[in-house]
Structure 1
Amino acid sequence: MCGIAGFIDFSKKASLPVLKDMTDALLHRGPDDGGYEVYEHPNALIGLGQRRLSILDLSSGGHQPMHYKQYTMIFNGEVYNFKEIRHELEQLGYHFTSSSDTEVLIKGYDCWKEKIVDRCIGMFAFVIYDKEEQQVIFCRDRAGVKPLYYYWHNNVLLFASELKSFHQFPGFEKKIDVNSVSLFLQYSYIPAPYTVFEHTHKLKPGHYMHMSLTNKALTTSEYWSVLEAYRQPLTDMYEGDIIRHTKELMESAYRYRMVADVPVGVFLSGGYDSSSVAAILQASSGNRLKTFTIGYKEAAFDESKEARRIAQHLGTDHTEWIVGPEDAKDILEHLPEIYDEPFADNSTVPTTLVSKLAAKQVKVVLSADGGDELFAGYNKFNQSLQYTERFPKSLQGMVSKVMNMVDPAAIPYFNKQYNFASRYEKMKLIWASGKSQQALKYISQYITESEAASYLGGARSAYKTNFDMNGELNNINDPLNRLLSVDYKTFLVDNNLVKVDRATMSVSIEGREPMLDHRLVEFLARVPAHIKVKNKINKYILKEIVHQYIPKTLMDRPKRPFIAPLTHWFRDELKEQMEYYLSPEKLRQTGIFDPSHIETLKQHYFNGGKVSHQKLWNILVFQLWYSRWIEQL
């Protein structure tokens, strides 16, 4: 696990000190070693930098940039099955001088070129400078566990694991993209390939990118797509065989994520996803697995007792931390540094805190993201199908038109319910579309597009996202799987994976995602909906597997999200921060928001109104980010 950064400067004004500054901005991602090299091509200067967190081959044999023949590579991530790939390469005549997966990857690229990724089980973002072909190749793993940003403007291509590296380059233009801000307000994150800045992008998961040094052509190509997995015919395996094969794939995926030369632990929330990781790994280990949990003093949000009971049942070495608003206050000011573009998932606070807890004992930690997408855990999938597929099509358009003529504020009783105006608007849009994937889009929004426009002085986003796919979904093998594929390409990639990567890396530990092993993803994509959700039980397959290790009585309870109790804290202990950063004066300084709309929303919230705190949290997070990355630089 590392941080990578660099440039291709066709104006030839960059330098080694600039590369070092860009790379060392990622010191937290790799405190153990650093490498910086600049190469001169007739048309450009190419800079490759890497900060290393030593997980495999702790010796200097894993130092980067790494060279082989005409190739130079920088690499962030892990290839868990590198030993098998190495053995295959040795049979073909390759020799190795280290025990690192980086050496396997660069020599595998020499052997198979881009097809090397087809053999890799892992998470990765890498850059290769090919001197003979006069090109630079970029790659991001199938799921998008590892990030890779790039900026292409004024004859300069910048690239890095995090946006903060770009601020160290003298020519980087920090021009805020209002289209992206609108998307952020709606979803609480900015979907790929967009970022908060113009000319700046995220390389999409499962993609290669090539920069030609001869003609400056920048091209991208997709080598793996979750949609293609969901386009495959549904399996005809019996239910019992599906459960057995799923368990076998999980066991293999989880064991691979334990490959390390340093201590490894598991985040344990007490839900089915993380419990499956802890249970399967503890069952096959002769040592007590280290597990970590965050709890809250507010009982409605606290799952620490359930996690503790599960840890005791499994026999893990368990550590927990009960946190309060004072802990959140300490983290709040650091969030813009950790998440260096606006990012407002309200579980950033507990995820950062549990990462701090784990970092005291381990250098690698396993999370369990992907369980809800793969096994159909979220209620939003049920709602999306219920509102569209199971509601008469003939009535949907008619109802939407009627709703369009009625002001929700004029509806007695309901107009005083929690977040009613936004929910009314969403249902109107859902029935106007009549499509379950559009229903998922609107349900996933915290702020509707029209409401976001009111906060931005009328500006609406011109960008389409993976929520807006249409023809691409036509051949997906059933309606539920269509929704799972959309959520995989949106919320999972750009929210959950970003959250865990930045939180763990902020304290210099490696976060791994065992449920996103592509073999497990590809198999479950072919499992029909009636087995994923059976007898109205979401995550039926996963639950059947977990119950083989943990009694149902310990697991069977209402699902609670892993979030902080911000809705309470912002009216009390954290009210001062909210008042300051959302004051009309601060909003006018930012120059993006309409202060009057936000002031009305804020006062309604503080007066006890039934307002979603997430709306204010999104704006607060943007203001905190703006203060750190625009005003302070």
Structure 2
Amino acid sequence: MCGIAGSLGPGIAAEALGRRLAAMSAAIAHRGPDADGHWADPEAGIGLAHTRLAIQDLSAAGAQPMVSACGRWVISYNGEVFSGAALRAALPGHAWRGHSDTEALLESIAARGLEATLAGAVGQFAFALWDRRARELTLVRDRLGIKPLYWTARAGGLLFASELGALMAAMPRPEIDPEALAAYLRLGYVPAPRSIYAGVQKLAPGQVLRIRAGGPPRITPFYDLAAELEGIGAGERIADPAEAEAEIEARLSEAVRIRLISDVPLGAFLSGGIDSTLITALMQEASPRPVRSFSIGNPRAEYDEARHARAVAARLGTEHTELEVGEAEALAVVPGLMAVYGEPFGDSSGLPTLLLSKLARAHVTVALSGDGGDELFAGYNRYRWFARLAHIGPVPGWLRRAAGGALTRLPPALVDRAGRAAGLAGAGRRVHKLAAMLGASTPEAALEAAVTQWRELAPAPELMARPAPAGLDPVGRMQAMDLAAYLPDDILTKVDRASMAHALEVRVPFLDHRVVRAAFRLAPELKLRGGRTKWILRQMLEKRVPRALVERPKQGFAIPVERWLGGQLRPWAEALLAETDWEGRFGLAPGPIRAAWEAHLAGRADHGDRLWTVLMLAAWAEGPGAGSAVAAAPLADTAG
């Protein structure tokens, strides 16, 4: 993986363009510590920057920005295309300069066109392509949004980059987008296409943006997830368990195999859960040597997955490395978290992901992860809960809401104690989420109830802006909505920023688009069966490890937020909550935040996740020039 950035616009002198590219690439140097390359044509007003993390073809033949052999095309590319061999095979007789996937992608575009190349591109990528003949810039983001790409229109042009920090290095800092802020407060992340800044957008997954200097940007999809899932015909559905298992195993095994292509050491994130264990097992089967695996331990048993990972690693025969992170070490990372993410990000699992990435990077340059398994194979508790609630549909809504209210009033400390006795962390939060879902009658309503945090602070934005594909079962609709929004804007954002902060490339086999299609061909009962989530993956895994090693309540990559905020993090949180000008800076009434804080400290409610979300907002705003008053102001031009 790498970092990309660039500028298109008229009237900028060569020296000024060079300074801009240097500033942008310096802001994302952590993404690519192996090389820093620039290419510019000041007459055309175009400049491309690239910071390289060398993975395939470590020689200068893989350096970027790269110019095609014909001289027409220039690319700055972040990611990996694992189908590079197939792209090369489609160009017999071509004189190749090296063996990088960058060159395979670029020369395929030059010879066969962008559309044909993207149709055959299997991978995770974001890239900028300059057509020197047509003087047109094209930005592309992969199908599922694994790699990031931000952009902002300027007077007669455009700026783009892998991370917000690179954009901010080249332009005055915009105002906060009030609708993005509202979405963040409800979701804990800013959903695409918005960013926290007015006028700055994320290119959505599967989209292509084209622009010529002086013209407007034009966005079209090359991959539409909803259309892809809606296009699965009845004749393609798989209901037979044996056929389903064979299909998923073949697709996933191939996805893992091609993601082992690397000229540098690689390993696996291993939590000991179903997804990471299956990916690691398939890696081990495809590898001639023991796979390197990595996990983070926690001294508190209810939050510790390392003991499970250790047992799985021993069974699979991996070369396993784990690091037990004490509370003091983890807490020391908290104040600087938002510097990694660039915009407010409320998923507390970003902290252990950052520590895990640092551990892995000390030994390897590439790691495979199990991300995506929950969305594809119905692994989240909310899917299981909604499926069960659907069976009590005839119960009046008022009665469901009353039951939810009763659950909400249960003392969280009592629920958490009971959960810890059963070896389950965060039981209080889970019960409250279930309570919120009790009154929902549709998948959309259930999903919103499960994920919404601060209703009282933020008006309801269009959280479900990407409609669920037609023709899916209710749980399948929830999965598709998560796959379109929560996965790229929370989970994949978390993994990309945390890993690239340490120059570690993370590959996600579950999100091979062919695996995605295969997963949605399965009958619903092959995912949720007898109250068990990810049923088909469990069947595959039982051939490889004893069931007892992975059969346990879903835990997630959790940290004890609720306990930290009442303990060692309390002075930091108290000061941040008190010193932040919530109304002046964000247009927020401070009363609900203060009430939640006091109720949390008194043990009347578990507001750990909600408080973490506003604390991360305040911590982000404390960064150098990060926050400003909420107002939708026009973006200033910085040409020259």
TM-score, reference length from structure 2: 0.90
Q: Which residue of 2 aligns with 1:49?
A: 49
Partner of 2:182: helix, strand, or coil?
A: helix
Which residue matches 1:456?
none
1:162-181 matches, cutoff 5 A: 162-169=163-170, 171-181=171-181
Q: How big is the shift at 1:305?
A: 0.8
- What letter corresponds to residue 222 of structure 1 in structure 2? P
The residue that corresponds to 1:566 in the other structure is 561
Matches within 5 A, 1:435-450: 435-448=442-455
Match status 1:147 vs 2:142: no
Contact 1:282 1:314 in 2 (8 A): yes
In 1, Cα distance between equivalents of 2:356 and 2:430? 34
Equivalence map 1:226-241=2 (5 Å): 226-231=225-230, 232-234=232-234, 235-236=237-238, 238-241=240-243
Equivalent pair of 2:265/2:366 in contact (CA under 8 Å): yes
What amino acid sits opposite 2:285 in the alignment?
A
Output the aligned Cα RMSD. Answer: 2.4
Letter in 2 for 1:139: V
- Counterpart CA distance in 2 for 1:31 and 1:321 is 25
1:504–1:2 Cα change, 3 Å: same
Kindly state the Cα deviation for residue 11 of structure 1 after the two structures are TM-superposed. 4.6
Matching residue's letter, 1:238: D
Amino acid in structure 2 at the alignment position of 1:20: A
Alignment-derived partner of residue 124 in structure 1? 125
1:309 is aligned to 311
Q: How does 1:439-588 map to 2 (within 5 A)?
A: 439-448=446-455, 451-453=456-458, 460=459, 463-465=461-463, 467-470=464-467, 473=469, 475-584=470-579, 586-587=581-582
**Matching of residues 184-195 of structure 1 within 5 Å:** 184-195=184-195
**What code does the residue aligned with 1:205 have?**
P
Amino acid across the alignment from 2:228: A
**Which of these residues, 257, 260, 263, is aligned with residue 261 of structure 1?**
263
State the identity as a percent.
Answer: 31
- TM-score by length of structure 1 reads 0.91
* Distance apart, 1:286 and its partner CA: 2.4
Offset at 1:468? 4.2
Out of 321-330 and 140-149, give the one that drifted further: 321-330
Q: 1:299 to 1:156 in 2, by over 3 A?
A: same
Q: 2:61 matched to which residue of 1?
A: 61
**Structure 2: runs of 5+ lacking an equivalent:** 413-427, 629-640
Paired residue secondary structure (1:132): coil
Structure 1's 236 and 546: CA in aligned 2 closer, same or farther, altered over 3 A?
A: closer
Aligned residues: 605
Quickly say closer, same or farther: Cα 1:424–1:103, change in 2 above 3 A: closer
Q: Structure 2 matches for 1:34-45, cutoff 5 A? A: 34-41=36-43, 45=45
Per the alignment, residue 4 of structure 2 pairs with 4
Moved more, 270-279 or 5-14: 5-14
Question: Is residue 108 of structure 1 aligned with residue 115 of structure 2?
Answer: no
Classify the secondary structure of the residue corresponding to 2:113. Answer: helix
Question: Which amino acid in the other structure matches residue 561 of structure 1?
Answer: G
Q: Is the 8 A contact 2:238 2:521 kept in 1?
A: no
Tell me, yes or no, if the aligned pair for 1:438 and 1:468 is still in contact at 8 Å. no
Q: Distance in 1 between matches of 2:143 and 2:586?
A: 38
Residue 237 (structure 1) shift: 5.8
Question: Matched residues in 2 for 1:199 and 1:393: separation?
Answer: 46
Q: Measured at CA, do residues 539 and 420 of structure 1 come closer, stay the same or move farther in structure 2, by a change above 3 Å?
A: closer
**Which structure 1 segments of 5+ residues have no match?**
454-459
Correspondence for 2:221: 222
- For residue 583 of structure 1, give the secondary structure of its aligned residue in structure 2: helix
Superposition pairs of residues 71-470 of structure 1, within 5 angstroms: 71-89=73-91, 91=92, 93-110=93-110, 111-169=112-170, 171-213=171-213, 215-231=214-230, 232-234=232-234, 235-236=237-238, 238-387=240-389, 389-392=390-393, 395-396=396-397, 414=409, 416=411, 426-427=436-437, 430-431=439-440, 434-448=441-455, 451-453=456-458, 460=459, 463-465=461-463, 467-470=464-467
1:570-589 Cα distance to aligned partner (Å, 9 max, x none): 21111111011111555466
Q: Which letter maps to 1:22?
A: M
SS in 1 for 2:566: coil
Contact 2:79 2:126 in 1 (8 A): yes
Deviations 1:34-91 (A, max 9, x none): 111221345xx111100000000000011111112211110000011201211221x2
Deviation at 1:140, TM superposition (A): 0.4
Amino acid at match of 2:135: Q
Q: Per-residue deviation at 1:191?
A: 0.8
